[in-house]
């Protein structure tokens, strides 16, 4: 097994770990964290694809690499937006988790 395949399997496993955290953890902040973890795994898969497409004089195909750079930036922007949303939600409802008993923000406001 060469290094690219090894990192490919690592990326695949990271996607699984991130997906598990995204589904099971009820705290929005932890969901954001898990989503970023998942994203890191997907980017790594792109890196492996780029590495395998290397030609003479290059370490990898620059097109997927450039796409990953763009993707990291967009993921950051989305994370910043999501965190701001979670914080506003927390300010409005006084709770920092989406538990199964609250159907929406209105519900939470009545309780708090």
Partner 1 sequence: MSIASVFDVALVALILAIGASTILVRKAFAAVVMFVVYGLLLSIAWVRLHAVDVALTEAAIGGGMTGLLLLGAVARSRSVNVGGPWIGRPARLATCALCALVVAGLAIAMLHPPEVIPTLAPTVMESLPQSGLGNPVAGVLFVFRALDTLLEKVVLLLALLGVWSLAPDRAWGGMPGLHVYARSDPTLIFLAQLLPPVGIVFGIYMCWVGAKDPGGAFQGGTVLAAMWLLVIVAGLQKAPAIGRLWLRGLLVAGPVLFLAIGLAGWVFADAFLAYPAGYAKPLIVAVEAALTLSIAVALGMLAAGPPERAQQQ
Shortest separation between residue 88's beta carbon and partner 1, angstroms: 5
Q: How is residue 55 annotated by DSSP? A: -
Q: Give the C-alpha separation, 83 to 95, whole Å.
A: 14
Contacts to partner 1 from residues 43-72, by CB under 8 A: 43-45, 47-48, 50-55, 57-63, 65-70, 72
Q: Is 74 in the site for partner 1 (CB under 8 A)?
A: yes
Residue 107 to residue 33: CA distance in whole angstroms: 26
Rule CB under 8 A: say whether 110 interacts with partner 1: no
Among residues 59 and 106, whose Cβ is nearest to partner 1? Answer: 59
Q: Which residues of 51-76 are buried (b: 16+ CB within 10 A; e: fewer)?
A: beeeeeeeebbeebbeebeeeeeebe
Q: Is 111 in the site for partner 1 (CB under 8 A)?
A: no
Binding of residue 103 to partner 1 (CB under 8 A)? no
């Amino acid at each position: 097994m060469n290094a690219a395949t090894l990192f490919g399997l690592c990326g695949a496993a990271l996607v699984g770990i991130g997906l598990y955290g995204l589904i099971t953890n009820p705290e929005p902040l932890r969901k954001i964290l898990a989503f970023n973890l998942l994203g890191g795994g997907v980017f790594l898969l792109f890196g492996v694809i780029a590495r395998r497409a290397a030609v003479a004089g290059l370490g990898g195909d620059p097109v997927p690499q450039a796409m990953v750079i763009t993707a990291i930036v967009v993921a950051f922007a989305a994370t910043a937006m999501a965190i701001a949303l979670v914080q506003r939600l927390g300010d409005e409802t006084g709770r920092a988790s989406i538990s199964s008993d609250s159907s929406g923000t209105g519900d939470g406001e009545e309780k708090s």
